[in-house]
Structure 1
Amino acid sequence: MKPKIIYNLFLFFFGIFFGNQYATNAQNKQLQSLTLEDGLPQSQVYAITQDEKGYLWLGTQGGGLARFDGKIFKVYNETNGIASNYINAIQSQNDTLYIGTKRGLSIKLKQKFLNIETPDVNKIYSFKGQMILLTAKGVYSVDKIGVVNKINLDPEIDDFIVNDLIHFDNNFWVATQNGLWKFDGQISSPKHIEKLEKGDFKTIVGFENKMIASTFNDGTIVFDSREFDDQILIREPLRINSATLINNQLWIGTQNDGVSVIDTKSWSENLVLNTSNGLSVPVVKQVFKDKQSNIWIATSGGGLYKYFQNSFKHFNTETGLNGNRVYAVHHSNKAIWISNSEAGLIKIDNYGVHDIDIPEAFSEVKIKTIASDNSGNIWAGSDGRGVLFKGKTIRDSIVIDTILKTTVKLPKEIKVTKVLSTDNGFPFDWIRKIQVSNNVIYAATYSSGIVKFNYSPKIDSLKVYKTYAKADGIEDLYIMDMVKDNENRLWYATKNGHLGYVFNDKVTHLGRILEQNVQINSIVFKNETLYLGTAGKGVWWSNDENFSSFKKLEGVKKGASENIYQLIFDDQDYLWVGTERGVDKLELDKDNIIKDAFFFGRNDGFLGIETCLNAVDKDDNGHLWFGALFGLTEYQPTDIIQDTEKPKLFLEDVKVEFQSIDSLDFSVWTNSKNILKLSPDQKQMSFSFKTVDLDHPNGVEYRYKLNDNDWSPWSKNNIQDLPELNFGAHDFYVQSRNHRWKESEPLKFSFFIESPLHKKPWFQWLLIGVAILVLAFLVYQYIKRLKRRNSEDKKRLELENHLLTLEQKALRLQMNPHFIFNVLNGIKAMAPTKPEKMNETVNSFATLLRETLVNSRKDTISLDQEIKTIRHYIEVERLMVEKPFEYKIDLKTDLDAEEILIPPMLIQPFVENAIRHGILKGPREGELIIEFTNNDDFLKVTIIDNGVGIFSSQQQKPKTDHQSMALTVTKERLESISGANALEMTEIKLKDGSIGGTTIVFKIPLETDY
């Protein structure tokens, strides 16, 4: 008989005798296997324990020791220092791991192993902090420094195999190869030892006032801890390896029949886990419950299994499917229809898993979509083989009444199976999605649009009503999903991100509504809101009247992936999102913001892992069915919310200058007053921290801070380097959170970096004091020498200053000798012919000389006085020169000229230069402009002439000594008054490129007499 038939018969009779609900709950239990492919070093696992940090430790036969954090196995074997790779027992205490091997005891202390030779260790029992070794030759104790001592109990115990020992009800109970023993007193000095029963006893469990002792071949004895004769004998299972009390149930691991779960009230068998329902081998060595309530099963040859009971039920080839890859899921008439791999159709109902008889053409192709009509007929679309119709119809059959000799037509139900393809008139063979609307069938193709049709099984007639393609308005024919809304509109989404709908045979194509070239994989409606699942861009939604704009579905928490393959709402209004990592259960508020997110992956019972495109549906009971790459998963909603404990965080390692500090017990140093003292050259630290979550190792995140700084962002990184730390006291804080965002208590590690000698305050003050004394002495000596030198230089400088002052005043008095000579000769020549002009010239010249003598004695004069002096000078020049010229003095200041003070004789040399060497040599009628402007800080003087240009004039004729000296002294005066670059001299260039004159600009600090 085929295994699937046997399995279905079992489900059928189990459902009849115990009810379907019970059968469903029994199937709800899950087994996840961890083998060599997952990193387990050996498939024979003999021992399991869990340390205080949460790590799961596994002892194997030949593969050594393995540490598991829910994701990665870290292996320790003989090359790491362990005594033997064949491990029978493990026990954890604080930071120390005791390992029983075939060569004795190995004690793991941080990264080192201490090996002690003893007989083969079968089990390690912890009693009041002391480790007791149960070996092939009696019992041994291990003290705190690792010294092993033999405990002499009885000759029949001391040289025989001891399998188990416990302390219960003030007595010690010992299970050996030749019997069950009991004694009181201290374990090192037993009293009243007695043998209770012969036989090969493997394990002992104390429960309430009962003792449970299991043998290898004779079953299990249950008796009162104070009255051995009052016994209950559990005859099965036999060949027992271990027994563990979990949740008031006795989990018994056997040699040839997996695990039996015994109810401790009725002492009847509740559950069997063996090769017929999940285990790959029948040999179970140990069953262990961890701190997260997971149950782990250690097998010999099948590796490690994780057992859990939850709301998921999984179907695969081991439970009746023809293949594990589920492409399509559909609920119809109290049954689930699926297509799995390229192996036809499967129906699942209360009677089990059934193969569906289909034509050979459909038995080896991918069936990508399944739908049903109002009559319960099944429609399935395939890759390259068209559409399969599987249903029934009523046809008349002719019956002949031999007595009455009449012919009667009676209705008869006939099963019909029909393939609709291009071979028999159907337009397309590649079908992505089928939707049924009012008994009209719509089939979305891979690249040819949508076809509307119907098939009548009664008359075997196919009718194609219409094909919607580009000519009808569907711009992108690569359709990914198709769904009907409450208004009977048929919506479609495409590979290139287009969206549209068909209503009353008219196509409304909305185009690329997300404004990006992203594939839309799935569509779902909830009330009046449309949700879109995309390939790589998450979920989008819109509740606009015309769905013109979409928003991304976001919140504080996010889903596990942005690659969306499935979307469906359950009866509690949770949005379920299928991805390549499992499924997310999203809780949305009224504004479509994610309030909470629950992820279900392999460690949570969703064993299918990667979901398949749109292979999801909901049945009449509100159960969700997900098709995935590794099987079919049913979700049964429940109101039970499992509260997650706070994650436990610990420091794995602390490094100083890249060297681990193995001498510290980090559990003592964290969150304490202990401070690690570091030398001045130890300025680099590295912290390694860890939270072990066996269920969701990828969901753990960490953050840290140093001293009173802000917390870092949450990250999966569990190592933090701190280079170039400052000297002084520091506090390093770290915190973790799990996949539900529950945060651990922060850990604090304090350390202090000593300052170097030159950084210590007392040493720095000493250096400062010495430096001040030395500096004061040097300053005193310098001042002393400086005073002596200054007394000598003072007289010399005063004399030089006096001479310089006289020289400057003399220069102010100087006027061009040629000018004076020319004036005098001019006056002489005017005497006979122009006596009136001679008088004017003499008067102007006399006024100019008087003003020059008066002004030269003053440090500053008013701008008004300076302008008068310049006017007199220009008038004398105009009277003396043969070439006439015009001049203009323009005062553009917001201050009165009498209030502004300037040094005397500062402008005259530039005016003289402009007349003599510019205007008089120029080809044009002379024009001279002198302009005064000011701002809050400076008085600006501009002198413009239209002569030959200052640089051209200098090239034509060398300067006179007087001119050169006057300009040089004037420039020096300007630099002393206004600083460097106070004077600007530029030539004016005309449009034809010739020189049109000179502009001289300088500024002096603005000074007023108030």
Structure 2
Amino acid sequence: MKSILKPITLYKLFFLFFGISLTLNSQNKQLQALTLEDGLPQSQVYAIAQDDKGYLWLGTQGGGLARFDGKTFKVYNETNGLVSNYINAITTKNDTVYIGTKRGLSVKLKNKFLTIDTPEINKMSVFEDQIVVLTIKGVYVIDENLSVKKANLHRDIDTVKANDLIYFDNNYWLATQDGLWKFDGQVSVPDHIEKLESGDFKSIIGFENKIIASTFNDGTIVFDSRDFEDQILIREPLRINSTTLINNQIWVATQHDGVSVIDTKSWSEILVLNTTNGVSVPHVRQVFKDKQSNIWIATSGGGLYKYFQNSFKHYNIETGLNGNRVYAVHHSNKAIWISNSEAGLIRIDNYGVHDIDIPEAFSEVKIKTITSDENGNIWAGSDGRGVLFKGKTIRDSIAIDTIKNTMVTFPKAIEITKVLNTDNGFPFDWIRKIQVTSDAIYAATYSSGIVEFNYNPKTDSLQVLKTFATAEGIADLYIKDMVKDEDNRLWYATKNGHLGFIFNNKVSHLGAVLKRNTAINAIVFKEETLYLGTAGKGIWWSNDEDFSSFKKLEGAKKSTSENIYQLIFDDQDYLWVGTERGVDKLELDKDNSIKDAFFFGRNDGFLGVETCLNAVDKDENGHLWFGALYGLTEYQPTEIARDTEKPKLFLEDVQVEFESIAAITATEANFNTVLKLNPDQRQMSFSFKTVDLDHPNGVEYRYKLNDNEWSPWSKNNSQDLPELNFGDHNFFVQSRNHRWKESEILKFPFFVERPLYKKLWFQGLLIGAVILVLVFFVHQYIKRLKRKNSEDKKRLELENHLLTLEQKALRLQMNPHFIFNVLNGIKAMAPTKLDKMNETVNSFATLLRETLINSRKETISLDQEIKTIRHYIEVERLMAEKPFEYRIDLKTDLDAEEILIPPMLIQPFIENAIRHGILKGPRQGELKVEFTNNKKFLKVTITDNGIGIFSSQQHKQKTDHQSMALTVTKERLESISGKNALEMSEIKLKDGRIGGTTIVFKIPLETDY
């Protein structure tokens, strides 16, 4: 056996001698404590495990079980069904958590606990479908049905405490309180078993071809898995509780010495984490690496620690600072100078942290700015105490040459510390920023502008060259930052958002360049581009020649805060942004757009959290130094390997009508089973989760239903779906982490059953029944309608026949009247006009024959009617004692022979115009008959120049036969054309006298084609 006395002993002695450097080195590996104040139920954490969802499960001694999501702890204990609050071991499989306690095994299935009776459990291991439980009385096996069985391995094993079991190189390796064992076959029924070594073995690791077996108090044995005799003995550390293989390193948890990290190449100790460098107690139970490459340390009495492997080194009171607040940071001569709370100046170099001796006036004041000149002298500005100069100068010194017995003068370096304030001629005491140029020193005050001065330490002389204030053109005197560009221009930014520069003792004040009333906290130049960090409005940039316009720095990603306190570029051209939440590392493209953003906060090793105004600098190695409220942080640009797997998304809960449904187990996948809901279940609620132990507040979610648009990304991890439509649905949800890396889309299918009245078969049946009923009623209706139509037809035929008879009767009424009038006229001619009487008789005979022929017809042609009218007018002219003229005008677009009209319809109006109008009038008689038409009607206009129809009616005798013809004709018109078909009016002359009568009526246009 090869024994190794660890070379770490000399290593420790070296750093104990030099003290601080070891402490500082260890701070590059950060520790974050999670205690009772953070929600941990008990400070004694004995077990850690992580499930498939990403939750961290912690077993405590007395506080029960805790589930951690990176932000909060959820506690389960005996009141929830846990068999005991004293937990020694935890393991997980799928969505099930196995908890080994002092009183047996508890199995967490969703929201309930099952208890399996076993002795006190020390550890558990998962092998395929089995859970192997190591107890204080041997080994037990639990199958997938949660049936427990004692494994009878060997009589020397079955009754002793089993501590660890692994399967490596086709063999099982078992660590017990009584020794180290090896066997093959199955756990419950081994084929061959042998004891390799006696002792209290606590832990076993298989690595490459090596078995690493650790005892409680006899060190660690490393041997070939196939040759036990080829051994290496690592004598320290001792009192080992457990070991874990992380990144090819052995992390050893001990009872009295914290954690030791053993290199697997040299088998030497390379790191110790204990009470000297951040762990509050020496008793460590387990070390665990999660899926995001974080390392967790479970302690007995100190709670839980998160260990960061990152590029940040943190300095605070525990590492030598006088206080945690760092107001100013400056790099000079391979050292970092900082102002430390109100506790003076600190210098950090390769030899450690050094408290700088300064005047008492500066030892209890805020030093807000530190810089250096080309000679390495330090300049510091304070709140209310002026400027501090600390440096060296060469002065002549006098000595006696004892050989020559003469006085000689030689140069000697003298350290000088000088305070410049209003007591000794400096104009201001409140200094915000100091900038050194080749010609002078500039000090920006809080509210009095900028002063240019020189100080000669050799002669101890102060020279105030000039003050730049309102009179010199600085419109806003509240200076926030001041920097020098490559052209030796001195730029300043102010509280009210003003920007300007001083060049050749001339102020160029650009004014409020952002056009926003917000303070510009930080200025930085990158080549010819100027960047401004504001208070609440983000970062702005400009590369104009005159910097007249600025654009906001935006892009695919964005900074975590709009409150900018610090700006600096590293050697890889990343822009680092200090905010109240930590620091952001921004990657910019050639167009000054944010291509990518990396946030570093407390969970990433940036323990200072809130940065301080302009307290940032870069050293000669390219390391960045950030001053913050909780210490000083150094960033060393190294790549740390981190797992970059996609975030996992799972459904925490699915509720239907506000009641949770059965277990949901799928994550990052589609659910194969469609959830079927009844018609009354139309409200669903989904709760979903992605566990991110590093950035729990950086996780965002989006979701959609069916083919709708995705919702905007938000931190809301639940969604209600009320009043769902019937039918098939798919709920989709996705998450992304703080780096915007997206999870797989999770799909949850479900189906809302349609109610009976909405089902197609029921609707079809109902429609069919309705159609049959409608057909029956329609059939009955049609029968009734046909019967009614038949009756109506008979009635209409009868009415039509009666109407025809009535029309004929009307015509028969008219004809006797006409004949009576003519005969009376002929009778009047007999005594005196015998010849004229004979002509009248002949004409009347012709007219009478035509009238008799036409009276038998329903309609005659307009041409025939006009002939009859002409014969009638001629008869009237022969009988009239007074001559008159007449004219018949046909103004139609149709031939008179084609137009059909009822017979003897016009004659009564002409008779009335002649006998009661023309013959009684004082003028030569004139009669005009005119026919016009449109598409629907034939219009007849009869005009005479008689005494007027109304005057005629007043003078003629009131006899029945006088108005018979006109009355009958009106009735005929109403039966043919409807009411108001006839219009009669008198013609009035200019002198007011009656000039005749106009009769207008219309009948429906009827043709013979």
Contact 1:644 1:740 in 2 (8 A): no
The reply on whether 1:45 has 2:31 as its aligned counterpart is: no
Secondary structure, counterpart of 2:767 in structure 1: helix
Amino acid at match of 2:84: S
- The residue that corresponds to 1:728 in the other structure is 727
Secondary structure, counterpart of 2:616 in structure 1: strand
Contact 1:281 1:302 in 2 (8 A): yes
**Correspondences of 1:387-426 after superposition (within 5 Å):** 387-426=387-426
Distance 1:469 1:795, change over 3 A: farther
- The residue that corresponds to 2:93 in the other structure is 93
Q: In 2, Cα distance between the equivalents of 1:55 and 1:788? A: 85
Secondary structure, counterpart of 1:79 in structure 2: helix
Q: In 2, Cα distance between the equivalents of 1:17 and 1:262? A: 23
Q: In 2, Cα distance between the equivalents of 1:306 and 1:473? A: 54
Secondary structure, counterpart of 1:107 in structure 2: strand
- The residue that corresponds to 1:588 in the other structure is 588
- The residue that corresponds to 1:632 in the other structure is 632
Distance 1:12 1:127, change over 3 A: closer
Contact 1:12 1:351 in 2 (8 A): no
Q: In 2, Cα distance between the equivalents of 1:327 and 1:706? A: 52
Contact 2:611 2:629 in 1 (8 A): yes
Amino acid at match of 1:343: A
Runs of 4+ that moved beyond 6 A: 9-12, 15-20, 22-25, 794-803, 823-828, 903-909
The range that moved more, 725-734 or 341-350, is 725-734
**Correspondences of 1:830-869 after superposition (within 5 Å):** 831=922, 838-839=923-924, 843=926, 847=928, 850=929, 860=936
Distance 1:360 1:777, change over 3 A: same
Amino acid at match of 2:725: N
**Correspondences of 1:304-703 after superposition (within 5 Å):** 304-638=304-638, 644-666=644-666, 670-671=669-670, 673-703=672-702
Distance 1:367 1:67, change over 3 A: same
Distance 1:274 1:907, change over 3 A: farther
The reply on whether 1:784 has 2:783 as its aligned counterpart is: yes
Q: In 1, Cα distance between the equivalents of 2:727 and 2:62? A: 51
Distance 1:224 1:637, change over 3 A: closer
Distance 1:44 1:642, change over 3 A: closer
Q: In 1, Cα distance between the equivalents of 2:584 and 2:293? A: 22
Report the count of equivalent residues: 863
Secondary structure, counterpart of 2:761 in structure 1: helix
Contact 1:387 1:419 in 2 (8 A): yes
Secondary structure, counterpart of 2:107 in structure 1: strand
- The residue that corresponds to 1:709 in the other structure is 708
> How far off is 1:684 after superposition?
2.4
Contact 1:585 1:599 in 2 (8 A): yes
Q: In 1, Cα distance between the equivalents of 2:577 and 2:798? A: 100
Structure 1 residues 325-375: Cα deviation after superposition (integer angstroms, max 9, x where no partner) = 211111111111111222211111111111111122222221111111112
Structure 1 residues 844-883: Cα deviation after superposition (integer angstroms, max 9, x where no partner) = xx54xx56xx67x988569xx89x99x999x999x99xxx
Structural RMSD (CA): 4.0
Q: In 1, Cα distance between the equivalents of 2:619 and 2:916? A: 129
The reply on whether 1:743 has 2:742 as its aligned counterpart is: yes
**Correspondences of 1:11-26 after superposition (within 5 Å):** 14=15
Q: In 2, Cα distance between the equivalents of 1:256 and 1:787? A: 112
Contact 1:11 1:352 in 2 (8 A): no
**Correspondences of 1:902-981 after superposition (within 5 Å):** none
The range that moved more, 594-603 or 533-542, is 594-603
Q: In 1, Cα distance between the equivalents of 2:256 and 2:699? A: 39
Contact 1:455 1:461 in 2 (8 A): yes
Q: In 2, Cα distance between the equivalents of 1:15 and 1:797? A: 131
- The residue that corresponds to 2:249 in the other structure is 249
Secondary structure, counterpart of 1:748 in structure 2: strand
Unaligned runs of 5+ in 2: 1-9, 811-900, 953-976, 993-998, 1004-1009
> How far off is 1:208 after superposition?
3.2
Q: In 2, Cα distance between the equivalents of 1:334 and 1:424? A: 32
Distance 1:153 1:796, change over 3 A: same
> How far off is 1:800 after superposition?
9.6
Q: In 1, Cα distance between the equivalents of 2:568 and 2:205? A: 48
Contact 2:292 2:642 in 1 (8 A): no
Q: In 1, Cα distance between the equivalents of 2:656 and 2:530? A: 57
- The residue that corresponds to 1:73 in the other structure is 73
Secondary structure, counterpart of 1:158 in structure 2: coil
Secondary structure, counterpart of 2:772 in structure 1: helix
> How far off is 1:225 after superposition?
3.5
TM-score (norm 1): 0.78
The reply on whether 1:177 has 2:206 as its aligned counterpart is: no
Distance 1:590 1:24, change over 3 A: farther
> How far off is 1:471 after superposition?
2.2
Contact 1:202 1:242 in 2 (8 A): yes
Q: In 1, Cα distance between the equivalents of 2:484 and 2:796? A: 107
Contact 1:687 1:719 in 2 (8 A): yes
- The residue that corresponds to 1:939 in the other structure is none
Q: In 2, Cα distance between the equivalents of 1:416 and 1:872? A: 141
Secondary structure, counterpart of 1:775 in structure 2: helix
The range that moved more, 105-114 or 452-461, is 452-461
- The residue that corresponds to 1:761 in the other structure is 760
Secondary structure, counterpart of 1:388 in structure 2: strand
Secondary structure, counterpart of 1:536 in structure 2: coil
Contact 2:27 2:277 in 1 (8 A): no
> How far off is 1:221 after superposition?
2.3
Amino acid at match of 1:658: F
Q: In 2, Cα distance between the equivalents of 1:86 and 1:429? A: 62
Amino acid at match of 1:531: Y
Q: In 1, Cα distance between the equivalents of 2:274 and 2:944? A: 128
Contact 2:291 2:643 in 1 (8 A): no
Contact 2:649 2:667 in 1 (8 A): no
**Correspondences of 1:882-893 after superposition (within 5 Å):** none
Q: In 1, Cα distance between the equivalents of 2:483 and 2:704? A: 51
Q: In 1, Cα distance between the equivalents of 2:170 and 2:363? A: 68
> How far off is 1:602 after superposition?
2.0
Q: In 1, Cα distance between the equivalents of 2:446 and 2:697? A: 37
Contact 2:24 2:319 in 1 (8 A): no
> How far off is 1:191 after superposition?
5.4
Structure 1 residues 699-733: Cα deviation after superposition (integer angstroms, max 9, x where no partner) = 33333333333333333322232222222222333
Q: In 2, Cα distance between the equivalents of 1:173 and 1:114? A: 29
Distance 1:19 1:117, change over 3 A: closer
The reply on whether 1:31 has 2:39 as its aligned counterpart is: no
Q: In 2, Cα distance between the equivalents of 1:288 and 1:772? A: 75
Q: In 2, Cα distance between the equivalents of 1:353 and 1:67? A: 40
Secondary structure, counterpart of 2:773 in structure 1: helix
Amino acid at match of 1:556: A
Contact 2:588 2:594 in 1 (8 A): yes
Contact 1:452 1:464 in 2 (8 A): yes
Amino acid at match of 1:462: L
Secondary structure, counterpart of 2:157 in structure 1: helix
Q: In 2, Cα distance between the equivalents of 1:300 and 1:199? A: 24
Structure 1 residues 359-412: Cα deviation after superposition (integer angstroms, max 9, x where no partner) = 222222211111111121111111222221111212222212344332222222
Structure 1 residues 580-600: Cα deviation after superposition (integer angstroms, max 9, x where no partner) = 222111111221111222222
Distance 1:464 1:775, change over 3 A: same
TM-score (norm 2): 0.78
Amino acid at match of 1:85: N
> How far off is 1:661 after superposition?
2.2
Q: In 2, Cα distance between the equivalents of 1:905 and 1:425? A: 121
Structure 1 residues 433-465: Cα deviation after superposition (integer angstroms, max 9, x where no partner) = 111122512111222221222222222222222
Secondary structure, counterpart of 1:37 in structure 2: helix
